[in-house]
Amino acid sequence: EDQVTQSPEALRLQEGESSSLNCSYTVSGLRGLFWYRQDPGKGPEFLFTLYSAGEEKEKERLKATLTKKESFLHITAPKPEDSATYLCAVQAGGTGANNLFFGTGTRLTVIP
């Protein structure tokens, strides 16, 4: 059964304090792993797609990496505006391959 687990559930950081969010997954044939940012009361905003182990992508203070079992979202020197819930989703290669299967997210709070 496809499974996505994100940790920690919540993370509080001081401004400038770098950290990483984890997304562990078990899927039958990974087609893609997606990271989204969701602000309260808003829809998810697309950040990255990763397709194969060893792949890395960066955007401003965010860097996503992928292994065969997990993905990390590294946040370097975060700012208060980085506060949001970060969602990880996987797309499997089996039946229902259209679907994105989401984790429950990590709620990040960056304190000034």
Partner 1 sequence: GAVVSQHPSRVICKSGTSVKIECRSLDFQATTMFWYRQFPKQSLMLMATSNEGSKATYEQGVEKDKFLINHASLTLSTLTVTSAHPEDSSFYICSARVGRGFGETQYFGPGTRLLVL
- Show Cβ contacts of residue 49 under 8 Å, excluding neighbours closer than 6 positions: 32, 33, 34, 35, 57
| Cβ-contact 61, 79 below 8 angstroms | yes
Q: Looking at beta carbons only, is 14 or 68 nearer to partner 1? A: 68
Q: Looking at beta carbons only, is 16 or 29 nearer to partner 1? A: 29
Q: Looking at beta carbons only, is 42 or 79 nearer to partner 1? A: 42
Query: What is the torsional sign of CA 21, 29, 44, 10?
Result: negative
Which residues form the interface with partner 1 (CB under 8 A)?
Answer: 31-32, 34, 36, 41-46, 49, 51, 87, 91, 98-105
Q: How far is the CB of 65 from partner 1 (least distance, A)?
A: 19
